[in-house]
Structure 1
Amino acid sequence: MRQPHSGEIGTELSLPPPAGGESFDDFYAANFQPLVLQLYAYTADLTQAQDSVQEAFTRAWQRWDRLTKYDNPAAWVRHVALNVARNRWRRLRAARAHARFHRQEVVAGPSPDRVALARALATLPENHRRALVLFHVADLGIGEIADQEGVAAGTVKSWLHRGRLALAAALDDSGRGERHV
């Protein structure tokens, strides 16, 4: 890991390297607050600074046996904390972009007429209902419906005729027949 040279930004706040044999607890106690101050200056958000430094110390603790051999383990922790903060900004920026272009659409509930139609369709025999849906909703022709159902075109015409009559009667019973037929 590259060590900062004198005159670089951030060297005024450099932390002393751990003394030989320093425990992680001592290292943490001596360096947490100064690192949080440095990250706070970078992020302008105290909570984010604390979270980033805490995450960096968590990673340092897992590698403590190797870090004690570094000239300046605090520089490693600072570098990791800065990366954590940068990655959080990237995720936040990506989430905002996603939210900006993928707004959830709020769809109004079904109208009373649509509810009445769905209830009336549910009362029809299955083959009549399927024929009506395929013809009027899916825009399939009589020949296409006949091929799909494996019946003659005349059978499909019969299903459509009977289905329409039954649908009209069911909608008339609900008081909505004039609007849909």
Structure 2
Amino acid sequence: MTALREKSSNGAENPASSPGSGERLAGFEELYAAQFHNLTLQLNAYVGSLSEAQDLVQEAFCRAIPRWQKLSAYDDPAGWVRRVAWNLAISGWRRHRTVMAFLGRQREQHVEGPSPDRVALMRALATLPDRQRRIFVLYYIAGDSVLEIAEREGVPEGTVKSWLHRARSAVAAQLTDDRRETGDV
């Protein structure tokens, strides 16, 4: 039976699953078993998240696998893994800091909530038929002229004036009713 070799998404062979990987990774499992917990605790204290610390340590060990033949000759291969894990944590922190600074510059300034008058106006506008509401907004909020609105809507200017009159009357009646209900009159 032939041994199957696992390939990663980029087509490279996974060294841990290739024939003879046991000899090439001699001592790696022992190092992993001896150091994973301790490194995870250190990084957890630094990053403040156990799952993130585990991911960082796991990534450092994954980066050690292809280099294991060279690393196993070091006096302290755990030191290399530790340095890589810490570098990953620091890089992640820097990346997070950069993202937060960017987002801070992108955020809009805090704006006060709408005034009671604005709320009452919005409520009154919501009671208008769609066309009257649109004409009212175009004239009073967008600042379009009666002629511009008539051209945009494809109706005579007199029709726009009529719709504006009805909209104003309805809004005024609604606002007057609201003031009477709240006792502001």
Task: Please state which band the TM-score falls in when normalised by the shorter chain.
Answer: 0.5 to 0.7
Taking a change above 3 Å as real, the CA distance of residues 145 and 47 of structure 1, as seen in their structure-2 partners, is same
**Partner in structure 2 of residue 10 of structure 1:** none
Q: Provide the residue aligned with 1:47 in structure 2.
A: 46
Contact 1:31 1:74 in 2 (8 A): yes
Shift of 1:153: 1.5
Deviations 1:18-64 (A, max 9, x none): x972251x212444578679x78xxxx84349968744541355467
**Which residue pairs with 1:123 in the alignment?**
127
Aligned-pair CA distance for 1:154:
1.6
What's 1:66 paired with? 66
Per mean C-alpha deviation after superposition, the further-off stretch among 93-102 and 122-131 is 93-102
Does structure 1 conserve the Cα–Cα contact (< 8 Å) formed by 2:61 and 2:81? Answer: no
Q: Structure 1 counterpart of 2:59, which letter?
A: R
- AA of the residue aligned to 1:144: E
Provide the secondary structure at the position in 1 that maps to 2:82. helix
Could you tell me which runs of 5 or more consecutive residues in structure 1 were left unpaired when the two chains were aligned.
1-18, 177-181
* Structure 1 Cα separation of the partners of residues 48 and 159 of structure 2: 73
Q: Structure 2, unaligned stretches of length 5 or more?
A: 1-23, 181-185
Distance 1:23 1:76, change over 3 A: closer
Partner of 1:21 in structure 2? 26
Indicate how the Cα distance of structure 1 residues 67 and 161 shifts in structure 2: closer, same or farther if over 3 A, else same.
Answer: same
Alignment check: 8 A CA contact 1:134 1:145 kept: yes
Structure number with greater CO (CA < 8 Å, separation at least 6) is: 1
**Partner residue of 1:90?**
94
What is the correspondence of 1:101-180 to structure 2 with a 5 Å cutoff? 101-102=105-106, 105-175=109-179
| Deviates most, 70-79 or 148-157 | 70-79
TM-score by length of 2: 0.61
Is the contact between residue 48 and residue 85 of structure 1 (CA under 8 Å) also seen in structure 2? yes
Aligned length: 152
